[in-house]
Amino acid sequence: MTTINQRKHAAGYDIRQLRWAFGAFATGVTVVTVGGREPHGMTANSFTSVSLDPPLVLVCVDRQAVMHERLENTGTFAVSILSCAQETVARHFADRLRPSGLAQFDDVGWRPGPATGAPLIDGALAHLECRLWRSYAGGDHTIFTGELVDLHRYGDDDPVLFLQGRFRQIGPERTEAHR
């Protein structure tokens, strides 16, 4: 049986090569959450802004992920953009063995979003609350676009980054003489 990591694509590359190539692009790290009767959170680095007018963002969610069904059913979601001090939060919401429902938030500071009720992670650089705007098939993921209904930005701390399969932080600023 061929595993996903050994599967070759028509272009001749395998999944490991694809992950390695995609890993060369640094991304920010977020926790996407939904509220309602079954709140849920997941770490996501497939997040970006889409449009200023209307204000839209997108997040890509694996079709097999618990979040996929919850987001479709809830119709609203929140995005907490994590600071460099929140790698443990990112790891927590990436752990498939964490508790489900509200219990997964027991060890993480949070509050319900005023517009959506979705959990907003304490200490995040920004909180974005969204109403599901559209969704699009994207291979083994769905691309969910959300229209912002509320947002808050806090401080100027650095974000946690994901690069080459690892969490990273922005290094010290380089002076003009070192460029």
Domain boundaries, the chain: 24-164
For the cut 50, the answer to whether the pLDDT of residue 20 exceeds it is yes
pLDDT at 118 over 50: yes
Count of Cβ atoms closer than 10 Å to residue 75 Cβ: 13
How much is the pLDDT for 24?
A: 78
Residues 70-96: tens digit of each pLDDT: 999 999 999 999 999 999 999 999 999
- What is the strand order of the sheet 160-163 is part of? 27-28, 160-163, 166-169
pLDDT digits (tens, 9 = 90+) for 129-153: 999 999 999 989 999 999 999 999 9
Q: What's the rounded mean pLDDT across residues 2-22?
A: 65
Instruction: State how far Cα 165 lies from the chain centre.
Output: 15
pLDDT band at 124 (very low <50, low <70, confident <90, very high): very high
**Average of per-residue pLDDT across 15-26:** 78
Q: Write the CA distances from 19 to 23, 31, 60, 139, integer angstroms.
A: 6, 21, 16, 15
Question: Once rounded to an integer, what is the mean pLDDT over residues 14-39?
Answer: 86
User: What's the CATH code, domain 24-164?
Assistant: 2.30.110.10
Strands (DSSP E) found in 3-140: 27-28, 30-34, 40-44, 47-52, 55-62, 76-81, 110-112, 119-121, 126-138
- The pLDDT-based confidence of 170 (bands split at 50, 70, 90) is confident
Question: What's residue 9's pLDDT?
Answer: 57
